[in-house]
Amino acid sequence: MTEKQNTTIYQCPICHVNLNAHDKSYICDNNHHFDKAKEGYVNLLPVQFKQSKNPGDNKSMVNARRDFLEKGYYQPLVNCIKALYLKFTNGEGNFVDAGCGEGFYTHQHNTESNQVYGVDIAKEAVKKAAKKYKECQFNVATLSHLPFKDASVRWIMSIYAPILEQEFTRLLESNGYLLTVTPAPNHLYELKSLIYQDVQKHNIDKEPIEHLTLVHQEQLNYTMKLNSGNDTLNLLMMTPFAFKATEAIKEQIAETENFQCQAEFLIKLYKNLNNKKPSYLKE
């Protein structure tokens, strides 16, 4: 265990007191034990928070995402969110990727002066992340009951994952940040056109965050040239509309080379200025 990994901001998911790192497990001050898996991650999801046997993304979605992301098609997004992270924090403090999947974005935020955590409810994803990215600490947990101490995190990142404002706000230090990446209207428009007759553009009007202050917003748009049918199929398989695609469409996609498709991301950065009272706390 490295020096960095010896100190953690974990709290016990059962009784919420400090969780202390030992060689092979984490133990809370009230003696609840959580063993480290051989891949190095820890399961901090008590059964009562588990709403199905295997919650979150399944293995084939996780594998498709790993294969697709490693081809570099979303590198412009990585460059953009990393630049924001370094600009606003200098790469310091505790970093949490909330809904980290297989860790592709998580590990790219590791610096000499921070500690990077990745959390996801999908065990298959966390296992894959922990196996590859040893410099980060991964855990299985639910975003609605995150196993981190209050006000312990400087930067929370949420990429295409549920945004749980109340819980994220609890975690953030004063002046800490939440970065969200969600699909902008034209995201994957051409891929969706293969599946739906009447393609709906993503609606970005929703403003779910009310306690934190929006300090930066940008839209990133570029055209991806997908080199192989397999890459396009992986892209499809990591999206929710994969469930709508027939076998015939999947075969057609697999056989199409040089498919062009727009990527369009909405990036928002919020700051915890501690001066806005959320509606759930208002009388």
Q: Is 199 in the site for Zn ion (CB under 5 A)?
A: no
Token representation of residue 23: 């060689």
Q: Is 14 in the site for Zn ion (CB under 5 A)?
A: yes
Partner in contact with 56, chosen from Zn ion, ligand SAM, none, beta carbon below 5 to 8 Å by kind: ligand SAM
Residues 176 and 171: their CA atoms lie apart, in Å, by 9
Partner in contact with 264, chosen from ligand SAM, Zn ion, none, beta carbon below 5 to 8 Å by kind: none
Q: Is 45 in the site for Zn ion (CB under 5 A)?
A: no
> Of the two residues 161 and 178, which places its CB atom closer to ligand SAM in the complex?
161
Q: Is 145 in the site for Zn ion (CB under 5 A)?
A: no
Q: Is 64 in the site for Zn ion (CB under 5 A)?
A: no
> Of the two residues 172 and 238, which places its CB atom closer to ligand SAM in the complex?
238
Partner in contact with 15, chosen from Zn ion, ligand SAM, none, beta carbon below 5 to 8 Å by kind: Zn ion
- Closest distance between Zn ion and the C-beta of residue 28, in Å? 3
Which one among 9, 28, 69, 195 touches Zn ion, defined by CB under 5 A?
28
Binding site for ligand SAM (CB under 6 A): 56-57, 65, 99-101, 104-105, 120-122, 125, 142-144, 159-162
> Of the two residues 120 and 264, which places its CB atom closer to ligand SAM in the complex?
120
> Of the two residues 24 and 244, which places its CB atom closer to ligand SAM in the complex?
244
- Closest distance between Zn ion and the C-beta of residue 25, in Å? 13
Binding residues for Zn ion, per CB under 5 A?
12, 14-15, 28, 30, 32
